[in-house]
Amino acid sequence: MRLVIREYLGMLKESGEFDALLPDLLLAMNLVPVSKPQVGVRQAGVDIAAVGNDDAGQKTLWLFLLKRGDLGRRDWDTGSQSVRQSLDEVKDVYLRNHVAPEHAELPVKIVVATTGDFKQDFEQNRVGYTDANTQPGRAYEFWNGDRVAALLEKHLFNEYALPPEARSHLRRALSLIGEPDYDLEHYFDLLKILLNWGESKPDKKAKNKRECHRSLVTTGLALGVVCRWADQEGNLRNAVIACERTLLWAWNAIRDGDFARDKKILTGYMRLIDLYFRTTVEYFNKVQDHLHTRDSLTRYYSESALLTERVFEEIGRISCIGLSHFLWGAETKDQNRIEGARAVADTLNAFLHSHRCSGSPCYDGQVADISLGLLLLVLAGRREDAKAWLRELIGRLNFGFRVGRWFPLSTDSFDDLVAFEIDRQDVDMAKLKETSWMIPIIAQWAAVLGEDQAYVNLVAFLKDALKGTCFQIWYPDQKTDDFMYLGPAQWDSGISEAPVDVPSEAEEMRKKIIRTRAESPVKEPFESSASKAGLVWLDLLASRHFRTPIDPAFWQCLVDIKPDEVLQEPEKTNASEKVKALISALKGEMSRNDVQATLGLGNGRHLNSYLQPALDAGLVEMTIPGKPRSSKQRYRLTDKGRKLLDEHERAK
């Protein structure tokens, strides 16, 4: 295991990787960091400062200088970042001006740590420097990659944190990580052990916060090893998949242990997120040119069925990467991350043009990948590109169903797809068109984006051609949170609306969407634990990774309809009367529960029929518009709403 860790250290970068790993090691050694590396801040030679006992049990101030790779004579005394200059700066500047008063009387140990080795000419210089500058209360140590690997094995990858079975899984995962078709089963088995599942089932909660934090640290180290190994083997796709599964299962462990608001636990989880973002950036940079090149994937997949399957898999993966960066950038106000997401959207659009089979999905379930792509294009300001792709999809769907070939099958079996394309004599065509998630969702997208003619083209033909097909849309409910980060959630939670009525006109579909949002098919609007923590992109990641249908709220909220027409829509209780009641009840800023109680409603789903039309009409607004499902959400009247209320009061 030490050799594995040693190889991993050799792959790390000093900035963002080695300096992120070392604080976890120090904590495991009972050395408490009091300062960490900062970009753009003068640190007087010290990357990390920590306080803790030395080998003799004496409380000591530890000052770490971090380097990367093998160090030789040139690294010792050449350049502004040379080891000698850093050591002199620690001695002459840091110790005189930067030590906190409470640590001023502690003995000091200055440590130079690197991920590589010390060359012979470096050794001579460091021995001479150490002899000349060591004095009572100040000592020097030099940790090469072997020393750091030994400490990591002892304190983070020990028998308690990583038992023999887990070590075996890690070794097998690393030996196969470069294989294109490797399914990462050994890494997933390792994850189950690290996250305290027990018996390979997610039913054993972490015993306490300390154990949960320790498992996150060890999981992060294991994931880092796997990602670096995958990069070395030229298979970053497996690294991205490993990151996705780790984020999802780790989040489930956090929410299962009720640690979703614990700052220390979330800090550990954020390190996993950082690794995911770094890995996805590396993956995107690697595949970007291929995605811009016409039919580049045909070099690897000659069979049309396999090519189309891989194209839509890539659409989903790239879209998910772009959405995660965009939504996290919006949450953290990171403009650079948002701009990076827009670059991903540009590349996605180029990929759609360079691979024309992107307009011909082969499985009905690929509507999830299509929805992710459309959502990324719309959020990134590429709405016209989204509409163009949507028109292409609708045209291809019409043609495919008309000729009885090249249409999305209501199956996820590759064998069925091959049989359908090659030997259709024994294929049950009715069974392959038995159900469809794609048609009603594509229809809703067309209505939402205002593609009315494309909508009519889709519905007019397909409603006749697919008379025996059951159209359906799945909606998550409050139970979904218990399943969505572990695997497919649609079998154990949520509600399927089936059969879905697809109106003949786009305008009618938009009104239907408004009513659906007002009278939700589930009892309470779904708000996931990740969404409450500002990680709404994790829900999209979970949907794509485990092939759970995407929450329709992600695109239904984009619907564009005139507010006046919403108020005029006939319902069991007239919508305009409900809006009048709502704006009369709203006093200042009120929560859902407050509004519900004031209106005397016994069910939260009924409240939606009051709130949604008022929101869409611009009479009421949210205090946190970027997080519609936030538990801190409040509602208040807009200027337009107050004006209407005044008019009603005067009329009375």
6-53 residue pLDDT tens: 777 776 665 567 877 888 888 888 899 888 665 544 578 898 999 999
Average pLDDT taken over every residue of the chain:
83
Per-residue model confidence as pLDDT tens digits over 558-601: 875 343 333 333 343 455 778 888 888 888 888 888 888 788 77
Q: Of 529, 560, 591, which residue sits at a domain end? A: 560
SS3 category, 34: strand
Domain membership of residue 570 as a residue range: 563-651
Same domain, yes or no: 511 and 622: no
Same domain, yes or no: 533 and 618: no
Q: Name the nearest CA neighbour of 343 among 405, 272, 298, 285.
A: 285
| Partner residues linked to 473 by β-bridges | 497
**Burial of 474 from C-beta contacts in 10 A (0-12 / 13-18 / 19+):** buried
**238 domain-assigned:** no
DSSP single-letter state for residue 334: -
Domain count, the chain: 3
d(CA 383, CA 620): 27
**277 domain-assigned:** no
Residue listed under structure tokens 């990740």: 530
| Partner residues linked to 644 by β-bridges | none
**604 domain-assigned:** yes
Residues 244, 530, 449, 626, Cα dihedral to 10°: -130
d(CA 60, CA 615): 60
Sign of the Cα torsion 292, 294, 298, 303 reads positive
**188 domain-assigned:** no
Give the pLDDT band (50/70/90) at residue 521. low
Please give the backbone phi and psi of residue 475, each rounded to the nearest 5 degrees, phi first. -120, 130
Residue listed under structure tokens 């009104």: 511
CB atoms closer than 10 angstroms to residue 500: 19
**533 domain-assigned:** yes
What is the pTM assigned to this prediction?
A: 0.73
Same domain, yes or no: 398 and 526: yes
Same domain, yes or no: 78 and 25: yes
d(CA 651, CA 347): 57
Same domain, yes or no: 600 and 545: no
CB atoms closer than 10 angstroms to residue 403: 9
- Amino acid 314: pLDDT: 95
**537 domain-assigned:** yes
CATH of the domain at 579: 1.10.10.10
Same domain, yes or no: 475 and 389: yes
Same domain, yes or no: 526 and 590: no
Give the pLDDT band (50/70/90) at residue 160. low
Same domain, yes or no: 549 and 611: no
Q: Can you give the C-alpha Rg of the chain in angstroms? A: 29
Same domain, yes or no: 505 and 601: no
Same domain, yes or no: 573 and 552: no
Q: Of 499, 525, 560, which residue sits at a domain end? A: 560
Q: Is the pLDDT of residue 615 over 60?
A: yes
Same domain, yes or no: 576 and 552: no
CATH of the domain at 113: 3.40.1350.10
Same domain, yes or no: 149 and 56: yes
**189 domain-assigned:** no
Report the Cα 642 to chain-centroid distance in Å: 40
| Partner residues linked to 636 by β-bridges | 621
Query: By mean pLDDT, which of 7-11, 441-445, 640-644 is the weakest?
Result: 7-11
Per-residue model confidence as pLDDT tens digits over 190-246: 999 888 754 334 444 445 777 888 888 889 888 988 998 899 889 999 999 999 999
**Burial of 459 from C-beta contacts in 10 A (0-12 / 13-18 / 19+):** buried
Q: Of 154, 189, 219, which residue sits at a domain end? A: 154
